[in-house]
Structure 1
Amino acid sequence: MFRYLLTVVLVIASATAGFSQKGLYDASQEWPVKIDDGWFTARTLTFGPYSTSSRKNGIDRNIDLSFIKSPQHAFNIRVKGQEQDILIQVAQAAHIAFSGLSLPSFLDKMPATALFSYIGINAAKNEPLKQWQLILKDMNYLELNDNKPAGVLRSPETELRVTANNRFGAHNSYENICYEFHLRKQVVAAVVTGEHPRVWMSADIERNALQPILAAAIGALLVR
């Protein structure tokens, strides 16, 4: 009897280890993703009710990147849908460039030369004066195996933790990286980047003001 109970416990632990809320990945909460890679048009994506514009190289003056002295690989896009038109600026910079910001400890402990991805998001139309920022570090495959923290999506009033895993790829690999967005203890959205992108959005925030911000962050990750 003891051996049977131990086996059951081990099976449950194995099935749940390393990953957060599996309920998000229900088919009813997955948004279809379509890639438009036309001959005469730049690459765009549609996911659920939202779509991205094509990439424009450089920095848009409507998003403040003045604290980053030497941003690299900068481009900007727009995410549209649900009556929203959100401007997004994407760039890379060394950790040292973020010395003026308060960062979570797992980001702040990174070497000064470590590259971070910075994604500035102009808020949805119902909060026009607010700006969000998504800051991500590069992940190694051991961190992906365990769904470790990858970054933070935040505004002056709200903060979501971002983790990254390879649950849809091979163990010990960078295949099909999946980013999860955690609001308190709930996973409210996720995106698989790469050649075969997938998107999930929790039904709990269908009419929440946070949904277009999550869509903007997801759109940036899909095209970066």
Structure 2
Amino acid sequence: MFRYLPALLLVIACHTMAFSQKALYTSAQELPVKIDDGWFTARTISFGPYQTSSRKNGIDAGTDLSFIKSPQHPFNFRVTGNNADILIQVIQVAHIGLSGLSLPSFLDKMPPPALFTYAGINAGKNEPQQQWQMILKDMTYLELNDNKPAGILQSPETDIRITANNRFGAKNSYENICYEFHYRKEVVAAVVTGQQPRVWMSTKTDHTPLQAMLAAAIGTLLVR
């Protein structure tokens, strides 16, 4: 009997992992998403209590991104809601242009010309000293099939791992890419990008500064 125990434990562990991920995807934790392509205003997106502003080309005045070499296609926007007012700067940058940053191994092993999306996130009036950054790589559809690491959302004190999958689309495709945010071994937020976006946020993050940073990262994925 005991010779089957390792296999049994593996099945239980896999089932538990799958359940912990699916626990986020409930109607109670899904935030309604609305896209506004107004006649006289640029596109904005709201999800639950949060809303993005329209995109503005370039880096916002007074922001220092001099540590990044040769940034490409810069834009900035804001995410507001739940008493938060967050400025986000987004650029495309080759791996070699982030040589001064400490990156997780799956990003650091990418070839020098590999393009990343970099988002500098500054909490506004609520956390004026706190700064976060999100770094994402492009995914292959084989990586999406297995929910492989796609990037990181981090501050000096906190690391949140980001994975990407196609669970809401077809296998071996880029359809309806879903990004998951893993914090302390739990999936605390997720966003499906594309023509029909969807957003989930764990109720465990309610009324916390972490939720505002997750909202900023989700907003970045929706508007980029």
Normalising by structure 2, report the TM-score: 0.91
- Change in Cα spacing, 1:20 to 1:143, as seen in structure 2 (3 Å) is farther
CA shift digits 1:136-187 (9 cap, x unpaired): 0000000000000000000011110000000000000000111100102011
Q: In terms of mean alpha carbon deviation, does 58-67 or 22-31 score higher? A: 58-67
Map of 1:85 onto structure 2: 85
RMSD: 2.2
Match status 1:162 vs 2:150: no
Q: In terms of mean alpha carbon deviation, does 122-131 or 21-30 score higher? A: 122-131
Distance 1:217 1:148 in 2: 18
Conserved 8 A contact 1:19-1:147: no
Map of 2:151 onto structure 1: 151
Conserved 8 A contact 2:116-2:137: yes
Map of 1:94 onto structure 2: 94
Normalising by structure 1, report the TM-score: 0.91
Map of 2:220 onto structure 1: 220
- Change in Cα spacing, 1:93 to 1:20, as seen in structure 2 (3 Å) is farther
- Change in Cα spacing, 1:9 to 1:172, as seen in structure 2 (3 Å) is farther
Conserved 8 A contact 1:148-1:163: yes
Distance 2:16 2:167 in 1: 11
Structure 1 runs (4+) greater than 3 angstroms displaced: 8-20
Q: What SS does structure 2 have at the residue aligned with 1:217? A: helix
Conserved 8 A contact 2:87-2:124: no
Conserved 8 A contact 2:162-2:181: yes
- Change in Cα spacing, 1:19 to 1:69, as seen in structure 2 (3 Å) is farther
Q: Which AA in structure 2 matches 1:213?
A: M
Gaps of 5+ in 1: 1-7
Match status 1:76 vs 2:70: no
Q: What SS does structure 2 have at the residue aligned with 1:156? A: coil
Q: What SS does structure 2 have at the residue aligned with 1:161? A: strand
Distance 1:24 1:60 in 2: 35
Shift of the alpha carbon at 1:39? 2.0
Gaps of 5+ in 2: 1-7
Q: What SS does structure 2 have at the residue aligned with 1:24? A: coil
